[in-house]
C-alpha cells in the first residue's frame, strides 16, 4: 500500500475552505490527526476520497503551498463592510463548470459560423433606465405587459428564462453543485453571477434562493449582459452594492418587471389596502417581494416599510419551503439546471460526431441512459 506525502498546511487549508473539521472527518479518516502532525502519511486513495469530501482538486494536495482561490469576475456585496471571505468550494466549482460550458459553446458557435450577439454590451450605464429596459424587452421579444399575461408569477419566471434562451443567452438555475443534491449552494453567499461573452453569455441563478428572489436576480443579470459586465453578487435584501453598474442593473431590473409609469398610475388603488404588495403582485403577475421592491425603488414606500415586509415575507417563504415536498420532475429540473439551449447544441454536436459522448456527459453532468432520456425529451418537444 503506497503512501504519499501531503503538506500539513494544505490539509488544514482544504479543511478550512470546505468548512469541515477534523472531528467531522474522524470516522471516515481515523488517522487524519496523524496526517496533519506528519506521524503517518495517507494513501493516494485516501487523499482522493478526502479531495471529494472537501471539494478540493486532487492536485492541490501536492503543491508546495495553498493556492489563492479567486473568482474570474468582480464580486459585489450589498454592504461594503461585509467583505467577502474566500469563495466557497461550491461557488468556485460552480463557476468553473459554467466557464467550461461557455468556452465549449463559444467555440462551437464560432465554428458553425454564428455571428456575435448584438444585444451583448449594447447599452451604457449612462443611458436612461427606461430606455435600456425597453431595449431588453424588444430584444427578448416580450410584449408590453408580458408578465401580466402569465397565469402566475412562477410562469412569468419561466417565460423570462425561456425568452432569454431564445435570444441566445444561456440560463442556468440550480441550487446544488451540479447534480449533487447533498451539496447545496448557499444564497447567503451569492444570489447569482453572469459571465458575459459576445457569442455565449451565461447567466447563473442560485436555485436555493426563494422563487421571488430568483425572478429579480434573473432580471438583474440580464441587465449585466446588455451592459457588458461580468459579475457575481449577493443582493442582500434585494439591494445592490455601492457600485454604479450594480445600482443601474437593479433599476433596470425593476423597470423591466414593473414599469414605473404603470405602477404610479395604479398606486392609489393599492396604497390603503392591508396587503398592497400582494395586490400589485397579482396585477403584474410577479412576486409580492418584487412588487414591494419596486414600490421602494420609486419612493412610494420608505426603506423601513420595505425591510419590514421583506423579513416577514422571507420568514413565510422558509416556512413554506420546509413543508414543501422535495423532488419534482427530474427532466424538468435538468431543463433548468442544464438549459435547453445549451443541451440541444451539445446533443447536435455529439450526433454530428463533433463531440465525444463522454465529453457531452461531462459538459451536461448527465451520464449514459440519463443523458439519453433527457435529450430525447428535448427532441420530442416535451420542454
Q: SS3 of 202, please?
A: strand
Q: Which of 18-27, 144-153, 323-332 is the most confident on average?
A: 18-27
Q: At 383, is the pLDDT very low, low, confident or very high (cuts 50, 70, 90)? A: very low
pLDDT at 282 over 80: yes
Pairing, β 202-206 against β 170-174: parallel
pLDDT at 82 over 60: no
Pairing, β 192-195 against β 176-177: unpaired
Dmax (CA) for the chain in angstroms is 77
Cα–Cα separations (whole angstroms), residue 317 to 43, 140, 174, 202, 345? 46, 30, 18, 28, 36
> Positive or negative CA dihedral for 49, 55, 59, 60?
negative
% of residues, the chain, pLDDT over 70? 92
pLDDT at 150 over 80: yes
Question: For the ranges 64-68, 127-131, 205-209, 298-302, which has the lowest average pLDDT?
Answer: 64-68
pLDDT at 113 over 70: yes
Q: Which single residue is written with the C-alpha cell 459554467?
A: 98
% of residues, the chain, pLDDT over 90? 36
Mean pLDDT of 101-119: 95
- Pick the closest to residue 89 from 64, 67, 62 (CA basis): 67
Output the pLDDT for position 84.
53
Q: Give the whole-angstrom CA distance, residue 146 versus residue 135.
A: 14
E strand or H helix at 315: helix 303-323
pLDDT at 78 over 90: no
Q: Give the whole-angstrom CA distance, residue 234 versus residue 232.
A: 7
pLDDT, one tens digit per residue, over 298-315 is: 999 999 998 889 888 877
pLDDT at 64 over 50: yes
Question: For the ranges 3-7, 56-60, 145-149, which has the lowest average pLDDT?
Answer: 145-149
Q: What is the mean pLDDT of the chain?
A: 86
Half-sphere exposure (Cβ direction) of 58: Cα atoms closer than 13 Å: 9
Mean pLDDT of 332-350: 86
pLDDT, one tens digit per residue, over 165-211 is: 999 999 999 999 888 888 889 888 899 999 999 999 999 999 888 77
pTM for the full model? Answer: 0.83
Query: What phi and psi, each to the nearest 5 degrees, are found at residue 46?
Result: -65, -40
Q: SS3 of 304, please?
A: helix
Q: Give the whole-angstrom CA distance, residue 2 versus residue 7.
A: 17
Amino acid at each position: 500500500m503506497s503512501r504519499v506525502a501531503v503538506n500539513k498546511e494544505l490539509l488544514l487549508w482544504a479543511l478550512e475552505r470546505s468548512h469541515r473539521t477534523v472531528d467531522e472527518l474522524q470516522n471516515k479518516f481515523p488517522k487524519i490527526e496523524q496526517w496533519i502532525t506528519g506521524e503517518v502519511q495517507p494513501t493516494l486513495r485516501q487523499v482522493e476520497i478526502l479531495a471529494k469530501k472537501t471539494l478540493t482538486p486532487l492536485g492541490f494536495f501536492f503543491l508546495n503551498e495553498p493556492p489563492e482561490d479567486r473568482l474570474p469576475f468582480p464580486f459585489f456585496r450589498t454592504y461594503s463592510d461585509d467583505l467577502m471571505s474566500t469563495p466557497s468550494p461550491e461557488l468556485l466549482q460552480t463557476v468553473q463548470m459554467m466557464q467550461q460550458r461557455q468556452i465549449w459553446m463559444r467555440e462551437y458557435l464560432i465554428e458553425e459560423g454564428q455571428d456575435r450577439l448584438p444585444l451583448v454590451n449594447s447599452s451604457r450605464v449612462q443611458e436612461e433606465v427606461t430606455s435600456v429596459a425597453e431595449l431588453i424587452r424588444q430584444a427578448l421579444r416580450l410584449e408590453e405587459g408580458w408578465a401580466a399575461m402569465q397565469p402566475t408569477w412562477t410562469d412569468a419566471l419561466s417565460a423570462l428564462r425561456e425568452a432569454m434562451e431564445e435570444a441566445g443567452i444561456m440560463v442556468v438555475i440550480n441550487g446544488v453543485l451540479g447534480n449533487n443534491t447533498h451539496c447545496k449552494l448557499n444564497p447567503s453567499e451569492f444570489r447569482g453571477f453572469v459571465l458575459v461573452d459576445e457569442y455565449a453569455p451565461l447567466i447563473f441563478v442560485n436555485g436555493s434562493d426563494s422563487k421571488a428572489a430568483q425572478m429579480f436576480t434573473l432580471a438583474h443579470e440580464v441587465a449585466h449582459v446588455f451592459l457588458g459586465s461580468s459579475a457575481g453578487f449577493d443582493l442582500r435584501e434585494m439591494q445592490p452594492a455601492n457600485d454604479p453598474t450594480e445600482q443601474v442593473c437593479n433599476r433596470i431590473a425593476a423597470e423591466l418587471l414593473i414599469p414605473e409609469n404603470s405602477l404610479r398610475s395604479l398606486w392609489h388603488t393599492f396604497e390603503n389596502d392591508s396587503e398592497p404588495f400582494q395586490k400589485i403582485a397579482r396585477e403584474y403577475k410577479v412576486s409580492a417581494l418584487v412588487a414591494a421592491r419596486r414600490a421602494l425603488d420609486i419612493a412610494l414606500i420608505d426603506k423601513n416599510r420595505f425591510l419590514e415586509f421583506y423579513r416577514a415575507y422571507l420568514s413565510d417563504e422558509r416556512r413554506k419551503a420546509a413543508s414543501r415536498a422535495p423532488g419534482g420532475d427530474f427532466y424538468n429540473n435538468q431543463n433548468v439546471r442544464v438549459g435547453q439551449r445549451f443541451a440541444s447544441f451539445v446533443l447536435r454536436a455529439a450526433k454530428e460526431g463533433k463531440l465525444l459522448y463522454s465529453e457531452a456527459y461531462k459538459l451536461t453532468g448527465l451520464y449514459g441512459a440519463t443523458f439519453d432520456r433527457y435529450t430525447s425529451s428535448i427532441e420530442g418537444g416535451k420542454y
